[in-house]
Amino acid sequence: MPGRIMSAQQAKKEYGTKFRSIRKKGNEISLKNSQGKKISVNKNTKVYHRGKGNFGVYSRSGDAARHKRGAKDQVGKGGMRHTHD
């Protein structure tokens, strides 16, 4: 199950010591997406941890499409579905 939704800056604080795949340079956060490619996002971009050091960029439309395709859980479902900013 995907982790809770948080800003990229919060993800860096929480997972930065556990995984080398997330780095900060100025206002940009560099992280590894699900395909294993490095992407750079703004520090305020909403992201979620997908496991094993991979992160996904959150969007409402992507979450709705995921649910429509029959996924049993949305990103950050239940008590985990909130932001900490």
- Residue 52 is predicted with a pLDDT of 86
Domain count, the chain: 1
On whether residue 82 sits in a domain, the answer given is no
Determine the pLDDT at residue 51. Answer: 84
Does residue 34 belong to any structural domain of this protein?
yes
pTM: 0.72
Let me know if residue 24 belongs to a domain.
yes
Rounded distance between C-alpha atoms, residue 38 and residue 28, angstroms: 12
Order of strands, sheet of 23-25, starting from the edge strand that comes earlier in the sequence:
23-25, 28-32, 38-42
- Is residue 12, in this structure, part of any structural domain at all? yes
Residue 58: the pLDDT is 85
Domain of 17 in residue numbering reads as 6-69
Cα–Cα dist 24/28, whole Å: 6
Domain assignment present for 44: yes
Task: Tell me if 51 is assigned to some domain.
Answer: yes
Distance CA 31, CA 85 (A): 19
Q: What pLDDT, on a 0 to 100 scale, did the predictor assign at position 41?
A: 95
Q: By the 8 A CB rule, do 30 and 16 touch?
A: no
pLDDT in tens, the chain (85 residues): 567 889 999 999 999 989 988 999 999 999 998 788 999 999 999 998 888 889 988 887 776 766 666 655 556 554 445 443 3
